Amino acid sequence: MASSLQHLLNEQGFEKGKSLKNPRDFKAPDESIQLPIYICHGRKSSETSNHKDDKTITRKGSSVFLSKRVSKLKPEEPAIDESAIKAVISLLSGYIGRFIKDETFREMIKEKCRSCLSKLKADNRVVMDIELGIESIDKLVLDRDNKLEGRMKLVKNSIKLLSIVAPLNGSTCRVPDSHLSVCARLYLSIVYKLEKNDRLSAWHLLQVFCDSVFLARTHFFPDLWDHFFLPHLLHLKVWYHKELELLCNSNNAPKETKLKALSKLYNEQMDMGTAKFAMYYKEWLKVGAKVPPVPTVPLPSSSSYGSSRRQSSDSYQSVFVATAERQSMLLDRRIRASIDVCRLEDEEIYIMVILESIIHVSETLQDKTRTHRRSSSCQIYSTPRTELLPETRKSGRFRLFTCRTRPTGCLVKGKIVVGNNSMRMLDNVDLPLSDLSKVIATVCSSDILSDCEIAIRVMTKAWLDSHGDPAIEAALTKPPVVEAILEVLFASNDDEILELAISILAEFADRSELNRQIILNSDPQLKVFLKLLRNSSIFLKAAVLLYLLKPKAKHLILPEWIPLSLRVLEFGVHLQTLFTVKCSPRVAAFYVLDQLLTGFNEDRNLENACQLVSIGGLSLLIRNVEIGGFLERKKVVLIISCCIRADGSCRNYLADELNLASLIELIIVNRKNSNGSVIALIIELLCLNRRTLITKFLNDLLNGWGGLNTMHILLAYLKKAVPEERPMVAALLLQLDLLGDPLRCSVYREEAVEAIIESLDCEKCNGKIQEQSAKALTMLGGRFSHTGEATTETWLLKQASFHESLGDAFHMKDIGDNFWHEEEEEIDNWRRKAAMALLESGNKRFLAALSNSMAKGIPSLARASLVTIAWMSRFLNSVRDKDFQVTASSILGPQLVESSNSDRVLEERVLASFSLQQITKRCGDIFKASHCQSLRVQPVHL
């Protein structure tokens, strides 16, 4: 679209003395961009302008399809649009790529394969081949730093072994070979993904749905099937639930037999449809492939499972089945429409079309009583709105526009002539307020969409010519008028009209809070904006309008908001101009995401963050850490932190992919504002499940930004940080310092330890500071699960032979046996260095602070202090000062004895006794001589 709509209007004939051109002659500049599969993808208008007059646009719901498309196809189909193919490949290979980076997903897949192979004989040659292939791929995933020659050998062996099993038919060891084939195809998909051959990876994943449909869609990949295949087969699901309801309400027997038969028929039909579409998309992946015919999956016959119904069922057969078949045909037609994305303008990639169709089917089935209204090809349905002003309510829903055009006549006498869907401006340009009132009456009352679209043009011109005249603004911002404009936005598919309407609403919203509330009250669930954000031509401008309205979380209750917001974030690079309003769509995306992740209750916030992670939003956020202004990048950091809190298992991926130099830059670039969110994210990323990974992360962080020393940056930040931030910053600085020689004196270490000691002073520090101090001590423990939860206490209890209530709380399942010893050595080495640094730099002041925190701190700090003493007690004799052991035992002994009393919780008693045992072992006779008379340790019975 043109950057300035005023310029657009001038080109269209709104200048004085000029006649209006045919709006269909307007050509937008080429701003096409390649979109992922879940995003609409409009074609260049210049490529199809010669065919526009041949199109008949049929509206239903919020979707659009072209009624004359099939008959106009050429005998020789062109190749499929490359962007659509890339989108399919990206979706499928991206899904299987989770195996490489998501440890939870990897374990789930391995477990499902084991369950398939468990019934087979272990000595069977076929089983041995597939197990060897799987083992080779696991080695490739776990050891990606292997030499190229070794990797190539493993890859070739894996492909060779799995290729033997993949094409098998029949059965092996009385188990269908489809089970073996699924596992083989699955791991072939993984190995090709490892070698970055995404096309072959996607092909093998689709083949899984061909070889064993039921197993693939119900056992292995139900989530992928729901998103990728189910939209094509929704009519089957609707049919099944209706048949099930009729059977359950029937008094005829036997119900159980018929229910089983119905379920069997439904699953068979679903399997057949899934296999058809899997084969269909496999055709897409052939190089230079032509457009294949879209598969048809008819509804099963009700008599196939022996259904006998009462007479009332006849009405269902005549009404519902016909409706369901129409919906199925509608789906097929819209799918075919999406295939022509390379030939016609305003077309959308198939996922968006199907999504709209699903919404339309759902709304239609919920509102069947309205089927007697106008022809289905001319209706636009909407859900009821519940918060409209009384004077603006129209039967509780948006209007139903007809497809009729008004006979040639005067809409505004003497000024505007309507004929053949075109509008011509006569010599008189200035529009009197009385004539504007007639235009407003038309847009508010007419059921003819073309008239309303013309009225939008006239209203827009009147507004631009008025230069903000309060009288014109008052006339155009009345609730009925705003609602009418929204109704046209919901109904129209003319991008020019949509942009004009969006722009004039943006002007109103930017001028006053009252106007914003009027717009929000007219569409409280933002259904119009959902429709506009799916439009690949004007979704960025719609996002700007949405941002100007500042909707709250209560307006954003539908799950579609997260993928739509990510889409705006990805493509909203350039500033958008809506008349006099200029705004970046990225700002709008960040605002909506912030509302979605922080505006609800905690459970809903976490659920939304998990959805963002599950649809691949992290990769987009990672890219945005490096681009844009400081405030935008800071927003990205906050959103990523929300994602980590919701799904801690994504830490490893983020630690690998995030540009740490960009995070350091964010700490530097704006010292006036608090950068606590950046520090908090870095600290969250440090909670990795392997110490070797933590060390690697710290080394990467140490490289700094722009030649500046990271530790110097953090030291400067530590001195200016608010008290609540100091404990965590100090713990981070200390870990970076300990990458060097722990025996060498360091100003960074001294400052960090001093800050930690100060934060442990319970008499001076409030609850928030103590809470952060507890987290800092926990982080120094150095042990975390794959979700980022601290496991140091669990490990210590295990060392103390305490197993009660632990269950499976501490296992190294997420670390292979080959890495166990290396990991334990790394953790032990880290703890030794950390203990020496804290004890030598903090000396008795640090021990006294820990003892004091145990006695006077909040529960979380008291527990963290006890755990810290427990793991540090092993290294008391490592301190070079020989008198330190006496000091340590005299400071810690009394409080540890107090914590081992029977009135304390069992875990605390175990940890206290374990610490006393370690101190006794390390300090020997020194401790016994000092405390044998004064201390009597209570035994702990395990």
pLDDT of 750 > 90? The answer is yes
Flag whether pLDDT at 876 surpasses 60: yes
pLDDT at 200: 87
| Rounded distance between C-alpha atoms, residue 618 and residue 605, angstroms | 16
pLDDT at 839 over 70: yes
Model confidence at 670, in pLDDT bands (50, 70, 90)? Answer: low
Give alpha helix (H) positions in 447-526: 449-466, 470-476, 479-491, 495-511, 513-522
- How confident is the model at residue 155, as a pLDDT? 57
| Enclosing domain of residue 428 | 382-524
Q: Would you state the pLDDT for residue 818?
A: 57
Which residue among 322, 337, 370 closes a domain? 370
- CA dihedral 174→178→181→186, nearest 10 degrees, is -130
In a domain, 728, yes or no: no
Residue 39: strand, helix, or coil: coil
pLDDT of res. 174:
43
Cβ(746)–Cβ(740) below 8 Å: yes
Q: What is the pLDDT of residues 530-540, one digit of tens each?
A: 999 999 899 99
Average pLDDT over the chain reads 74
Tell me: do 433 and 408 sit in the same domain. yes
- Please report, to the nearest 10 degrees, the dihedral formed by the alpha carbons of residues 719, 723, 729, 730 taken in order: 80
Single out the residue of 232, 230, 231, 224 nearest to residue 208, CA to CA.
224
- Position 931 scores a pLDDT of 52
**How does residue 592 score in pLDDT terms, banded at 50, 70 and 90?**
very high
Q: What is the dihedral of CA 43, 44, 47, 48, to 10 degrees?
A: 60
Do residues 310 and 289 make contact, with C-beta atoms less than 8 angstroms apart? no
* Residue 844 reports pLDDT greater than 70: yes
The number of distinct structural domains making up the chain is 5
- Beta bridge pairs of residue 358: none
Q: Is the same domain home to 496 and 426?
A: yes
- The verdict on residue 69 lying in a domain is no
Note the pLDDT of residue 735.
95
Range scoring the smallest mean pLDDT among 295-309, 552-566, 698-712: 295-309
Residues 491 and 540 in one domain: no
Answer whether residue 330 shows pLDDT above 90: no
7 found inside a domain = no
Q: Give the mean model confidence (pLDDT) for residues 284-306.
A: 75
Tell me, yes or no, whether 49 lies in a domain. Answer: no
Q: Could you please report the per-residue DSSP string of 323-366?
A: HHHHHHHHHHHHHHHHHGGGTSTT---HHHHHHHHHHHHHHHHH
- For the chain, the maximum distance between any two Cα atoms, rounded to a whole number of angstroms, is 111
The pLDDT score that the predictor gives to residue 152 is 56
Of 228, 244, 268, at which residue does a domain stop?
A: 228
Tell me what pLDDT residue 123 has.
53
Strand 416-419 relative to strand 422-425, pairing: antiparallel
Of the two residues 426 and 724, the one the predictor is more confident about is: 724
pLDDT (tens digit per residue) in 219-256: 888 888 888 888 888 888 888 888 887 877 776 656 67
Backbone angles phi, psi at 552, to 5 degrees: -95, 175
753 and 846 in contact (C-beta within 8 Å)? yes
Residue 667 within any structural domain of the chain:
no
Q: What is the pLDDT of residue 807?
A: 44
Helix (H) or strand (E) holding 217: none
pLDDT of the residue at 760: 95
- Confidence band, pLDDT 50/70/90 cuts, at residue 708: confident
Q: Check whether 2 has a pLDDT greater than 70.
A: no
Domain final residue, candidates 469, 490, 524:
524
For residue 119, what pLDDT band results from cuts at 50, 70 and 90?
Answer: low
Is 50 exceeded by the pLDDT of residue 177?
Answer: yes
Evaluate whether residue 670 is within a structural domain.
no
- The verdict on 571 and 501 lying in the same domain is no
* Residue 341 shares a structural domain with residue 211: no
Statement to judge: residues 200 and 347 lie in one domain: no
- 481-524 pLDDT, tens digit each: 999 999 999 999 999 999 999 999 999 999 999 999 999 999 99
User: What mean pLDDT do residues 606-611 have?
Assistant: 93
Stretch 848-874: mean pLDDT: 94
pTM above the 0.85 mark?
Answer: no
Report how far apart, in Å, the C-alpha atoms of 131 and of each of 123, 128, 713, 805 are: 11, 5, 51, 36
Same domain (yes/no): 342, 406: no
Classify residue 208: in a domain, yes or no: yes
pLDDT band with cut points at 50, 70 and 90 for residue 602: very high
The predicted-structure confidence for 435-472, as pLDDT tens digits, reads as follows 788 899 999 998 899 999 999 999 999 999 888 888 99
Banded model confidence at residue 625, pLDDT cuts 50, 70, 90: very high
- According to DSSP, the residues that pair with 448 across neighbouring strands are 402
* Pair 693, 655: CB distance under 8 Å: yes
**767 falls in which pLDDT band (50, 70, 90)?**
very high
Task: Break the chain down into helix, strand, coil percent, rounded to 5.
Answer: 65, 5, 30
Q: Within this chain, do residues 898 and 756 fall inside the same structural domain, yes or no?
A: yes
Query: Within 13 Å, how many C-alpha atoms sit on residue 612's CB side?
Result: 36
Place 160 in a pLDDT band, splitting at 50, 70 and 90.
low
Give how far the C-alpha of residue 791 lies from the chain's centroid of Cα atoms, to the nearest Å: 28
pLDDT at 875: 87
Q: Over 80: is that where the pLDDT of 156 sits?
A: no
- 620 versus 71: the higher-pLDDT residue is 620
What is residue 306's predicted lDDT score, i.e. its pLDDT? 54
Bridge-partner residues for 583, per DSSP? Answer: 576
> What is the share, in percent, of the chain residues with pLDDT greater than 90?
36
pLDDT surpasses 80 at 395: no
191 vs 733, higher pLDDT: 733
Q: Is residue 66 part of a domain?
A: no
> Is 496 in the same domain as 392?
yes
How many other CB atoms sit within 10 Å of the CB of residue 176?
A: 17
- Does one domain contain both 778 and 840? yes
pLDDT for the residue numbered 99: 84
Residues 159 and 193 in one domain: yes
* Model pLDDT for residues 56-114, shown as the tens digit of each residue: 333 333 333 323 333 333 344 455 667 778 778 888 888 888 888 888 888 888 888 87
Task: Provide the 3-class DSSP secondary structure of residue 242.
Answer: helix
**pLDDT in the model for residue 256:** 76
Q: What is the pLDDT of residue 748?
A: 94
**Residues 292/350, Cβ–Cβ less than 8 Å:** no
Residue 709, burial from CB neighbour count under 10 angstroms (0-12, 13-18, 19+): middle
Per-position b or e across 795-820, b if 16+ CB within 10 A of its CB:
bbbeebebeeeeeeebeeebbeeebe
List, as one string, the DSSP characters of 655-706.
Answer: HHHS-HHHHHHHHHH-SSS--HHHHHHHHHHH--S-HHHHHHHHHHHHT-BT
Strand ranges inside 775-885, DSSP E: none
The mean-pLDDT minimum among 222-231, 287-296, 594-603 falls in 287-296
CA gap 732, 501 in Å, rounded:
52
Task: Please tell me whether residues 219 and 235 are part of one structural domain.
Answer: no
